[in-house]
Amino acid sequence: MECSISDIENKANILRLDVIRMTTEAGSGHPGGSLSAADMMAVLYFRVLNHDPSNPLWEDRDRFVLSKGHVAPVLYAALAESGYFPTEELITLRKLGSRLQGHPVRGKVPGVEMSTGSLGQGLSMACGIALTGKIDKKDYHVYCLLGDGELQEGQNWEAAMFAHHYNLSNLIAFVDRNRLQTTGNTENAMSLDPLPEKWKAFGWNVIIIDGHNVRQIIEACEKAKGSKKHPTVIIMNTVKGKGVSFMENNADFHGKTCKPVEYEMAIKELKEVIQ
């Protein structure tokens, strides 16, 4: 049964709660970018993706590539909450012997399509999967989540050129445009603006949305799936650390986890908005 808008909004906050619990227990990880991507991940895994948690290698499934692999916590949360593995396992993130490593590894966790973590490579991988789908005459779509700071890596733009050249209309990229990276503001590190025009120059359809508006994310995905010739990029304007007041727009929480008092505050805030 298709999840409603309110159900997906609720799921997104459950993913956020999972992220805070996982990273705090681990004492390491990347909560800020995981929280900013939670709404998009909830839309994908509970509304848009054609997938089957009971058959992770189903040949006709849609594929999702997490290019910014450091936000593995939100991917693991989405996979667990949609049934790929028990949610109780989430608390083992980054622990010795756990399959939930700091960056996703294909073959260890059901539902993880590609091993990622070296920034700038995920879109190239997604291009390869999408091209394979075209050659094999499959109907699946390939979705890829990129960080905005990650776009400072040149390989992304080689992949963007490749996708246009091969008319990969089955490829949909998301950019988590929260404007913060580990060193601070993205524009201070290496300016990306005007970002939409850059993608258009590479021959992509460009959709700009509020990345925390579930309805807009759904509508953007539907529009992107309707493309018959060009790849599509959905640029999501987001807030790093979304959902936890002291984390929002705070670059410190790119790769820092909660202290005990902060943890209690974060859990309280998120539980208040979960139905």
Please give the structure tokens belonging to residue 19.
């992220």
Question: To the nearest 10°, the Cα dihedral for 199, 239, 67, 163?
Answer: -20
CA-wise closest residue to 13 among 269, 265, 264: 269
Q: CA 204, CA 105: separation in Å to the nearest integer?
A: 29
List, as one string, the DSSP characters of 203-266. T-EEEEEETT-HHHHHHHHHHHHT-SSS-EEEEEE--TTTTSTTTTT-GGGGS----HHHHHHH
Q: What is the pLDDT at residue 158?
A: 98
CB 16 within 8 A of CB 26: no
User: 226, 179, 244, 231: which is closest to 205 by C-alpha?
Assistant: 231
Vertex 66: Cα angle to 44 and 239 (nearest 5): 70
| pLDDT value, residue 1 | 54
Can you list the domains of the chain with their CATH numbers? 5-273 (3.40.50.970)
Backbone angles phi, psi at 90, to 5 degrees: -55, -35
Q: What is the pLDDT of residue 2?
A: 78
> Per residue of the chain (275 residues), what is the pLDDT tens digit?
578 999 999 999 999 999 999 999 999 999 999 999 999 999 999 999 999 999 999 999 999 999 999 999 999 999 999 999 999 999 999 999 999 999 999 999 999 999 999 999 999 999 999 999 999 999 999 999 999 999 999 999 999 999 999 999 999 999 999 999 999 999 999 999 999 999 999 999 999 999 999 999 999 999 999 999 999 999 999 999 999 999 999 999 999 999 999 999 999 999 999 98
CB proximity list for 79: less than 8 A, separation 6 or greater: 45, 53, 85, 109, 110, 111, 112
* Residue that has been written with the tokens 């990650």 in this structure: 150
The reported pTM is 0.97
User: How many CA within 13 A on the CB side of residue 207?
Assistant: 23
Can you give the pLDDT at residue 107? 96
